[in-house]
């Protein structure tokens, strides 16, 4: 069990660059689409949170502004949502706009931190 906890800690501390590299490795070497894996992980986490009680369990990730690095944010939104480059650009251009809706707290915070590391302004609702 200690190895699982260590792995989880390492995953939580990954940078955006590391996450992108991991996604590529999972896709190319193992045939795993990272978006599908994230949904599976988020689904398991949401099920565990449901037992908690009155705590908010679903969050919306709202892009308030792309900041100075718009291209990086477009690429990140594309990766996070699984939409095409054109659709991702439209979302970023329409800011404030929702990136993902009704996701678990862990997934929402992860998405927020990745976007903020890339220079975006993000809000969780």
pLDDT digits (tens, 9 = 90+) for 50-99: 444 567 788 888 888 888 888 888 888 888 888 888 888 888 888 788 88
- Distance (Å, whole) CA 13 – CA 114: 11
47 is a domain residue = no
Tokens of 76: 């990140």
* pTM of the shown model: 0.52
65 and 117 part of one domain: yes
User: What's the total number of domains in the chain?
Assistant: 2
Percent over 70 (pLDDT), the chain: 81
- Distance (Å, whole) CA 119 – CA 33: 25
Beta strands in the chain (DSSP E): 59-65, 97-103, 121-124
Least confident of 23-32, 70-79, 96-105, 110-119: 23-32
Number of helices (H), then strands (E), in the chain: 6, 3
Give first-to-last CA distance, the chain, whole Å. 34
12 is a domain residue = yes
Tokens of 55: 């705590």
Which residue segment(s) compose the domain that 32 sits in?
A: 4-42
Contact 92, 77 (CB under 8 A): yes
CA-CA-CA-CA torsion sign (41, 43, 122, 80): positive
- Distance (Å, whole) CA 48 – CA 20: 27
CATH number at residue 76: 3.30.1390.10
The pLDDT, as a whole number, for residue 113 is 87
């Amino acid at each position: 069990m200690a190895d699982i906890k260590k792995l989880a800690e390492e995953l939580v501390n990954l940078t955006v660059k590391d996450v992108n590299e991991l996604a590529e490795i999972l896709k190319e070497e193992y045939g795993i689409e990272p978006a599908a894996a994230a949904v599976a992980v988020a689904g398991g986490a949401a099920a565990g949170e449901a037992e908690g009680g009155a705590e908010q369990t679903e969050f919306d990730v709202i892009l308030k502004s792309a900041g100075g690095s718009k291209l990086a944010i477009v690429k990140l939104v594309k990766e996070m949502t699984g939409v095409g480059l054109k659709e991702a650009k439209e979302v970023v251009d329409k800011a404030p706009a929702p990136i993902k809706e009704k996701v678990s707290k862990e997934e929402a915070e992860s998405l927020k931190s990745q976007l903020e590391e890339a220079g975006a302004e993000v809000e969780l609702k």
